Amino acid sequence: MRCQKCKGTASVEVRRHHAAFCNDHFVEFFDRQVERAIEGEGMFTREDRVLVVVSGGKDSLALWDVLLRLGYRTSGLYINLGIGEYSQASQRKAEAYATGRAADLLIADIPLEFGMGVEAFARATGRASCSACGLSKRYLFNKVALDRGFAVVATGHNLDDEAAVLLGNVLHWQTEYLARQAPVLPSTHPALVKKVKPLYRIAEREAAAYAIIRGIDYIVEECPNSVGAKSLLYKEALNLLEQAAPGTKQSLYWGFLDRGRALVGALDDHELRGCRYCGQATTAEVCAFCRMTERAAERMRVRRAAAERPASDAADAGPEAGQHAVSGRSAASTR
């Protein structure tokens, strides 16, 4: 297999483009795809301050790396979700990357701020782990970006991620979610920062190849809570199709952007207003994150109170008891 640019030995095949590249020309290809995404979709300019959400995994570190190399003004944001050793190991990868590149890394620490991690949020509210985690991440990166004046938040979602979400939305014809699926979500409220996905033209295995070629040390393990996640199932089905017909994922997602999205119609952002507690954009009086953390904090207080009371009283205290305001709804700490 030969590099289609220099005819040297190819190291990465990109079957859906009928192409193969040596290391250097693969990085060039990668850069070009990311630039096309950023410029073609009007994501941000070289003047904008971009907050890159990094998880310690290959996609987000590859994203940060390519943006740094291409000369964009970025800071990284690592969100400690409090998922035991997994979160600690991920944080070490993000920190090591930032230190190695002398890049600016912010840390938002959920256990430190809220006294518990996203798994406790999930338990307290009956949400699935991935749902509580996603809600927390979206809340926090938006908050940090707002507080620190970033123009835009960039996440490392790649083509495989977007195609899997799209497949799930189509399998259930969730038209409202379909309307929200785009590489750029503009700011539709003063408290809602623009969100972009510069890797939407990059397949998962290409992000991994880029990270390896660029010597990025990333966390290889999947989140322990992702076992059995629907997104992994959808990726498996898409990989089966991609294997037989390279380009299927691209056709699904890019075709949606070209033709399907027009069918779904414009994003309907109802009537967004500021959350009564935190001011972030919400359609309700109190935003979903504040409702979740309030409920989790309440449950923890009830438990503590039960533990401190004599045994005979403890049985009366259900999770619904008590109506205290939540503390710790302040900004995520950053270093």
3-state secondary structure of 194: strand
3-state secondary structure of 127: coil
Q: Kindly give the interhelix angle for 84-100 and 58-69, rounded to the nearest 10 degrees.
A: 20
Least gap, CB of 178 to a second copy (angstroms) = 8
Query: Measured from the CB atom, is 70 or 264 closer to a second copy?
Result: 264
Residues 163 and 249 sit within 8 Å (Cβ to Cβ): yes
> How many residues in the chain?
335
Query: Measured from the CB atom, is 42 or 255 closer to a second copy?
Result: 255
| Whole-angstrom distance, CA of residue 329 vs CA of residue 326 | 7
Scanning 58-108, the segments in alpha helix (DSSP H) are 58-69, 84-100
Q: Is beta strand 152-154 parallel, antiparallel or unpaired with respect to 281-282?
A: unpaired
Least Cα distance to 60 among 210, 261, 175, 170 occurs for 210
Least gap, CB of 283 to a second copy (angstroms) = 21
Residues that bind a second copy (CB under 8 A): 170-173, 175, 230, 233-234, 236-238, 240-241, 244-245, 248, 251-252, 255-256, 258-260, 263-265
Least gap, CB of 237 to a second copy (angstroms) = 4
Distances (CA, A) of 241 to 19, 57, 232, 244, 252: 19, 25, 14, 5, 11
Query: Measured from the CB atom, is 6 or 171 closer to a second copy?
Result: 171
Residues 308 and 87 sit within 8 Å (Cβ to Cβ): no
Least gap, CB of 118 to a second copy (angstroms) = 24
Query: Measured from the CB atom, is 187 or 248 closer to a second copy?
Result: 248
For residue 148 the two structure tokens come to: 């620190």
Least gap, CB of 204 to a second copy (angstroms) = 17
Sheet with 73-80: list strands edge to edge.
105-109, 73-80, 49-54, 152-154, 194-196, 184-185
Least gap, CB of 267 to a second copy (angstroms) = 14
Query: Measured from the CB atom, is 115 or 260 closer to a second copy?
Result: 260
Query: Measured from the CB atom, is 223 or 252 closer to a second copy?
Result: 252
Query: Measured from the CB atom, is 255 or 318 closer to a second copy?
Result: 255
Least gap, CB of 230 to a second copy (angstroms) = 7
Least gap, CB of 173 to a second copy (angstroms) = 4
Task: Give 248's contacts (C-beta < 8 A, 6+ positions apart).
Answer: 238, 241, 242
Query: Measured from the CB atom, is 233 or 284 closer to a second copy?
Result: 233
Q: Tokens 């992000």 appear where?
A: 207
Q: Kindly give the interhelix angle for 248-255 and 159-171, rounded to the nearest 10 degrees.
A: 70
| Whole-angstrom distance, CA of residue 137 vs CA of residue 140 | 5
